[in-house]
C-alpha cells in the first residue's frame, strides 16, 4: 500500500522477529513442566523481544522507507521474501504487543485452572505468533501462503488442548475448513496467477505486481476474487465461518489472542492484501461483479450479529461477534476506496484491542467463578468490578462509541461507503451497530444491575492479578487508540 518510489532497506530485523519465537520454543520446551517460572519467563522474554524488534522498525517506516529481507529462493522467479511496509508493521505491532499482554494473562489463567500440558501450550503459542509475524511481513502471495499454512497447523494443538470429545469436534471443524479452503481454493487460484500472468514469470509481489490480474477477463477476475476471499477462510466470511465458534473449545488465552486477534486477523489481513495489493483499488472498481462481495460482507455482518443475539455461551457469543467484525474489515477492502481500506486497517487494530479485552474478561470470569453463560452473570459486577468494567469498555469500543477506538474505524468505513455512493452500506453499518448494542451491552448490564441469584457470598472475588492487569491494560488501550488513529493511518501511508 506504500507508494512505489520509497527507498528499500535490506535489514535482518523482520527475520529476527519471525525466528525469535521459534528459538524461544527450545527454551520453553527445555524448561518444561518442572521449571514453570523459568518457562513463563522465556515466553515473556520472547514476546518482549519480538515486540521490541517490531517496534524498532517503526521509525524507519515513518521516515518513508521499507525493509526487505530475502530468506531463500523458492522457485525460479519467486523468492521467500519478507518485507515490512506500513500495513504489515501495524498488524505486527498489534499482534506482538497483545502477545505480551496475553502471556501475562495466560500465566494467571492456566495456573488458576491448573491446566495440563502447559509446556505444549506455550510452545505452540510461540510458533503461532511466529507464523503470524511471518504473514504480516510477507512480500508476495506464495510467501504469505507459507506462513498462513504454518499458522493453521500450529494452532491445531491449541484448539484441541482439552483432548476430549468436544476438542475433537472443534479441531475437526477447524482444520477441515481451514485446510480445505487453503488447499482446494487458494492453491488453484495462486497457481492460476503464477501460470497465466506474464508468461509464468510473475512473482505476485505485493508492491510490484499490483493490478496485473487486470489482464484477465472479467469472469476470471471475479472467480479469482471469490477463490481468494473464500480461500482465506480465516477471514470468516460466511458461509465459511463455522470453524471459529468451533475453535472456542480452546483455552481462553487462545481464543483471545488467536481467535480474536492473530488467526482471524491474518485472514482479513490476507484478504486486504489481495484486494488492495494483488487486484488494486483501480482494478477492483472497474470490476462488475465486485458488488456481490460487498453484499456478502454486509450479509456476514448482519447474519452473524443476529446469531450472536441468540447465543447464551459467552465465548460463542463473542465468536459470532468476531465474525461480524471481520465482516467490517472485509467490507472496507471490498469497497475499494482509500477511506474504506483505511477503515479496514484501523478496524484491525481497534477491534483487536476491544475484542481481546472481552475475551480476557470472559476467561477471567471463568477462572474466578467457573461461569460460562451470559444468563449466569447476574450480579457479578459487584464481585468483579474491574473485570466487568473492562468488559463494558470493550463492548462500547466494539459497538463503536466515541471516545473509544471502534468509533474511528467505523467512521472511516462509512466514509468509504459514501465515496462509492452506497448509502445502503451505511444503513447496514448502523443496523449492525444497533445489533452490537443488543448482544453486548446486556452482558455488562446484567452483571451490574441485576441482583445475584444467591446473596450468600458478598465482597470482591476477582480473578488472579495476572488475569486482571492485562485486561485492564487492553481496556485502557481502547481509549488510547481513539487518539492514535491519525498516526496509524500515517504509518500505513493512507493519511492525506
Partner 1 sequence: MMENAIAWILIFPLFGSVACAILGMGNKKLCYPIAVLSMAGSLWGGIETLRQVIASEVHTVSYIFGGWTLDNYPRGVGIEFHADILGILITLVVLGVGFIVAIYSKLPVQDETPNKESLFYTLFLLQITGLAGICLTGDAFNLYVLIEVAALTGYGLIAMGSKRAEAATFNYVILGTIGASLYLLGVGYIYIKTGTLNMVGIHDVIVANGLADSATMQVAFVLVGIGILIKMAFFPFHAWLPNAYCNAPTVTSSLLAPLVTKVMIYVMIRMVLSVFGVEFSFESTLWVDVMPWLVVVAIICAAVMALAQREIKRMLAYLIVAEVGYMVGGVWIYNYYGLIGSIFHVISDACMTLCLFLGAGLILRKAKTTHFDGLRGLFSKMPLTMTGFFIGGFSIIGLPPTCGFFSKWYLITGGMVSQRWEYMVVLMFSTMVMVVLFFRLIERIHLAVSESGENLGHGHGDLGLTKEQTRFDEGPLSMLIPLLLAATVVLVVGIYNQDIVNLIEIFLDEFNLPKGVSH
* Rounded Cα distance, 375 and 365, in Å: 13
* Rounded Cα distance, 242 and 322, in Å: 12
* Rounded Cα distance, 220 and 206, in Å: 20
Pattern 69-88, partner 1, x by CB under 8 A: ---xxxxx------------
Q: Any bridge partners for residue 65, and if so which?
A: 7
Q: Which of 146, 292, 479, 484 binds partner 1 (CB under 8 A)?
A: 146
Min dist CB 164 to partner 1, Å, is 5
**Nearer Cβ to partner 1, position 181 or 436?**
181
**Nearer Cβ to partner 1, position 157 or 340?**
157
- The region of 49-57, 91-99, 197-205, 475-483 touching partner 1 under the rule CB under 8 A is 197-205
Q: Which of 32, 38, 198, 288 binds partner 1 (CB under 8 A)?
A: 198
What residues between 203 and 242 interact with partner 1 by CB under 8 A?
215
Is 192 a binder of partner 1 (CB under 8 A)? yes
Q: How many CA atoms lie within 13 A of 32 on its CB side?
A: 2
- The region of 109-117, 262-270, 405-413, 488-496 touching partner 1 under the rule CB under 8 A is 109-117
Burial 439-456 (b: 16+ CB within 10 A, else e): bbebbbebbbeeebeeee
**Nearer Cβ to partner 1, position 9 or 74?**
74
Pattern 325-344, partner 1, x by CB under 8 A: --------------------
3-state helix, strand, coil in the chain (%, to 5): 75, 5, 20
**Nearer Cβ to partner 1, position 152 or 311?**
152
Min dist CB 116 to partner 1, Å, is 3
Residue 239 burial (CB count, 10 A): 10
Class of residue 468 by CB neighbours under 10 A (exposed 0-12, middle 13-18, buried 19+): buried
Helix/strand/coil for 313: strand
Among the listed residues 467, 397, 419, 445, the one whose alpha carbon sits nearest the alpha carbon of residue 256:
467
Min dist CB 252 to partner 1, Å, is 16
Please provide residue 73's backbone torsions phi and psi, each rounded to the nearest 5 degrees: -85, 110
Please provide residue 377's backbone torsions phi and psi, each rounded to the nearest 5 degrees: -85, 5
**Nearer Cβ to partner 1, position 175 or 471?**
175
Pattern 53-72, partner 1, x by CB under 8 A: -------------------x
* Rounded Cα distance, 480 and 403, in Å: 9
Residue 82 region, left (φ>0) first, then alpha (ψ -120 to 50), else beta? Answer: beta
Is 114 a binder of partner 1 (CB under 8 A)? yes
Alpha carbon distance, N-terminus to C-terminus of the chain: 14
Q: Any bridge partners for residue 422, and if so which?
A: none
Min dist CB 25 to partner 1, Å, is 13
Among the listed residues 384, 392, 390, the one whose alpha carbon sits nearest the alpha carbon of residue 367:
384
What residues between 148 and 187 interact with partner 1 by CB under 8 A?
149-150, 153, 156-157, 160, 162-165, 167-168, 171-172, 175, 179-180, 183-184, 187
**Nearer Cβ to partner 1, position 172 or 382?**
172
- The region of 144-152, 279-287, 433-441, 485-493 touching partner 1 under the rule CB under 8 A is 144-152
Min dist CB 121 to partner 1, Å, is 10
* Rounded Cα distance, 220 and 223, in Å: 5
**Nearer Cβ to partner 1, position 120 or 382?**
120
Min dist CB 24 to partner 1, Å, is 18
C-alpha 216: how far from chain center: 31
Min dist CB 144 to partner 1, Å, is 11
**Nearer Cβ to partner 1, position 196 or 411?**
196
Min dist CB 94 to partner 1, Å, is 25
Among the listed residues 369, 124, 164, 375, the one whose alpha carbon sits nearest the alpha carbon of residue 253:
124
* Rounded Cα distance, 416 and 264, in Å: 23
Q: Any bridge partners for residue 9, and if so which?
A: 67
Pattern 381-420, partner 1, x by CB under 8 A: ----------------------------------------
Q: Which of 32, 64, 200, 402 binds partner 1 (CB under 8 A)?
A: 200
Min dist CB 232 to partner 1, Å, is 16
**Nearer Cβ to partner 1, position 158 or 345?**
158
Going from the C-alpha of 375 to that of each of 327, 372, 379, 437, 452, the distances in angstroms are: 27, 9, 11, 17, 11
Residue 495 region, left (φ>0) first, then alpha (ψ -120 to 50), else beta? Answer: beta
Q: Which residues bind partner 1 (CB under 8 A)?
A: 72-76, 114-117, 145-146, 149-150, 153, 156-157, 160, 162-165, 167-168, 171-172, 175, 179-180, 183-184, 187-188, 191-192, 194-200, 215
Amino acid at each position: 500500500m506504500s507508494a512505489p518510489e520509497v527507498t528499500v532497506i535490506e535489514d535482518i530485523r523482520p527475520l529476527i522477529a519471525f525466528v525469535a519465537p521459534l528459538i524461544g520454543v527450545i527454551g520453553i520446551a527445555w524448561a518444561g513442566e518442572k521449571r514453570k517460572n523459568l518457562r513463563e519467563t522465556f515466553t515473556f522474554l520472547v514476546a518482549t523481544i519480538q515486540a521490541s524488534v517490531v517496534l524498532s522498525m517503526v521509525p524507519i517506516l515513518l521516515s518513508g522507507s521499507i525493509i526487505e529481507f530475502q530468506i531463500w529462493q523458492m522457485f525460479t522467479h519467486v523468492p521467500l521474501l519478507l518485507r515490512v511496509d506500513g500495513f504489515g508493521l501495524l498488524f505486527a505491532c498489534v499482534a506482538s504487543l497483545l502477545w505480551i499482554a496475553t502471556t501475562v494473562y495466560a500465566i494467571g489463567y492456566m495456573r488458576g485452572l491448573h491446566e495440563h500440558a502447559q509446556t505444549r501450550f506455550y510452545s505452540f503459542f510461540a510458533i503461532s505468533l511466529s507464523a503470524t509475524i511471518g504473514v504480516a511481513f510477507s512480500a508476495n502471495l506464495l510467501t504469505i501462503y507459507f506462513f498462513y499454512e504454518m499458522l493453521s497447523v500450529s494452532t491445531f494443538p491449541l484448539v484441541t488442548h482439552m483432548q476430549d470429545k468436544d476438542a475433537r469436534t472443534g479441531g475437526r471443524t477447524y482444520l477441515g475448513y481451514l485446510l480445505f479452503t487453503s488447499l482446494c481454493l487458494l492453491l488453484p487460484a495462486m497457481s492460476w496467477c503464477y501460470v497465466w500472468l506474464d508468461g509464468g514469470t510473475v512473482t505476485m509481489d505485493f508492491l510490484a505486481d499490483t493490478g496485473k490480474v487486470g489482464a484477465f477477463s472479467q469472469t476470471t477476475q471475479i472467480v479469482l476474487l471469490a477463490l481468494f476471499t473464500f480461500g482465506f477462510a480465516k477471514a470468516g466470511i460466511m458461509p465459511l465461518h463455522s470453524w471459529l465458534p468451533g475453535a472456542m473449545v480452546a483455552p481462553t488465552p487462545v481464543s483471545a489472542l488467536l481467535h480474536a486477534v492473530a488467526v482471524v486477523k491474518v485472514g482479513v489481513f490476507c484478504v486486504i492484501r489481495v484486494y488492495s495489493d494483488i487486484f488494486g483499488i483501480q482494478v477492483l472498481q472497474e470490476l462488475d461483479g465486485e458488488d456481490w462481495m460487498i453484499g456478502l460482507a454486509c450479509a456476514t455482518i448482519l447474519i452473524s450479529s443476529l446469531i450472536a443475539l441468540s447465543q447464551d455461551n459467552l465465548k460463542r457469543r463473542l465468536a459470532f461477534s468476531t465474525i461480524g467484525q471481520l465482516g467490517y474489515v472485509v467490507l472496507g477492502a471490498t469497497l475499494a476506496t482509500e477511506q474504506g481500506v483505511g477503515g479496514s486497517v484501523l478496524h484491525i487494530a481497534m477491534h483487536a484491542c476491544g475484542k481481546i479485552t472481552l475475551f480476557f474478561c470472559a476467561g477471567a470470569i471463568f477462572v474466578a467463578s467457573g461461569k460460562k453463560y451470559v444468563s449466569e452473570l447476574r450480579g457479578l459486577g459487584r464481585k468483579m468490578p474491574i473485570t466487568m468494567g473492562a468488559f463494558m469498555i470493550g463492548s462500547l469500543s466494539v459497538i463503536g462509541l466515541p471516545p473509544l477506538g471502534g468509533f474511528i474505524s467505523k467512521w472511516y468505513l462509512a466514509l468509504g461507503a459514501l465515496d462509492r455512493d452506497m448509502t445502503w452500506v451505511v444503513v447496514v453499518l448502523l443496523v449492525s451497530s444497533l445489533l452490537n448494542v443488543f448482544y453486548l451491552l446486556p452482558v455488562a448490564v446484567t452483571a451490574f444491575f441485576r441482583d445475584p441469584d444467591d446473596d450468600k457470598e458478598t465482597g470482591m472475588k476477582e480473578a488472579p492479578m495476572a488475569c486482571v492487569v492485562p485486561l485492564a491494560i487492553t481496556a485502557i488501550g481502547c481509549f488510547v487508540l481513539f487518539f492514535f488513529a491519525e498516526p496509524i493511518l500515517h504509518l500505513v501511508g493512507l493519511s492525506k
